[in-house]
Amino acid sequence: MKALIQRSLNSSVSIDGKVNGKIDKGIVVLVGFTLGDSEKEIDYMVNKIVNLRIFDDENGVMNKSLLEVGGDILSISQFTLYADTNKGKRPSYVKALSGDKATILYDLFNKKLSEFVHVETGIFGADMLVNIQNDGPITIMLER
């Protein structure tokens, strides 16, 4: 499981010209799954994301978590995190979990995140336009 997280001031996802999810202060999570991923990896990742200290404290030091600042999450399924570009010029996605299995894990991931914070999402498998206002910029790759 991989999650690319970005601290955000204002982000949204649109599908067919309609906003499907929108957050202000919080984290955008681009998440992808691979063979062998399970609830164990999801639990680890959810805990890591909501507790990662990437928000500024009163001294301007990244010392506060999403939970402490009361931020939201915009969660976007992103199988391309598993792109393999070692051969040729066209990425291979064979390491990405098939859609029918990944959608189950994506739904579980979002459900578990929503036990801690407000979560907005895209639609799994849809052609999405994601607008991310990356604050910092802070971008961190998490992998489990």
Express each pLDDT in 21-31 by its tens digit. Answer: 999 999 999 99
Q: Which CATH class is domain 2-143?
A: alpha beta
Q: What sign has the CA pseudo-torsion 7, 106, 126, 2? A: positive
Catalytically annotated residues: 78-80
pLDDT digits (tens, 9 = 90+) for 75-97: 999 999 999 999 999 999 999 99
Give the chain's radius of gyration (CA, Å).
15
| Residue 123 exposed, middle or buried by CB count within 10 Å (0-12, 13-18, 19+) | middle
Strand partners, 143: 2
Confirm if 103 and 124 have CB atoms less than 8 A apart.
Answer: yes
